[in-house]
């Protein structure tokens, strides 16, 4: 009878697992779930260009609101522009004139006067 008791104790010791290994499995499952959720979100908004490295996309969040943001994805670079109360201004020189044609195209005509910096 003592042999059977020893075997059971030996079997229990061999089958014990590290309790931390279950946490690692939960982390892996959470990462897979997060990636699947991100893909579902991109597909639901019909903007798969966000996942394509060669694509360029511009997104306007909260248009017209004070907390408006413009998100620009140009190839593999992403730039976020926040709305501010400041108006662009400063000193400069007139470089030319832009004209909008009837078909919607914009044509830029540079000034004939050379700037003092150019040779």
Mean model confidence pLDDT for the chain: 78
**Global pTM exceeds 0.75:** no
User: The tokens of 56 are what?
Assistant: 């360029």
Cβ(37)–Cβ(43) below 8 Å = no
Distance CA 89, CA 97 (A): 18
pLDDT tens across 43-87, in order? 887 777 877 888 888 888 888 888 889 889 888 888 998 887 776
Considering the chain, what percentage of its residues have pLDDT values greater than 70?
A: 77
Q: Which residue has the higher pLDDT, 11 or 88?
A: 88
> What pLDDT score does 35 carry?
94
Tell me if 63 sits within 8 A of 71, measured CB to CB: no
């Amino acid at each position: 009878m003592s042999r059977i008791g020893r075997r059971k104790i030996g079997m229990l010791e061999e089958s014990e697992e590290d309790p931390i290994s279950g946490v690692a499995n939960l982390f892996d499952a959470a990462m897979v779930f997060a990636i699947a959720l991100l893909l579902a979100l991109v597909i639901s908004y019909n903007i798969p260009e966000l996942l394509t490295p060669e694509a360029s996309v511009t997104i306007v969040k909260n248009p017209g609101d004070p907390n408006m943001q413009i998100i620009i994805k140009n190839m593999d670079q992403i730039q976020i522009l926040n709305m501010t109360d400041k108006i662009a201004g400063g000193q400069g020189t007139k470089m030319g004139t832009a004209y909008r044609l009837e078909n919607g195209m914009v044509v830029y005509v540079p000034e004939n006067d050379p700037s003092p910096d150019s040779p």
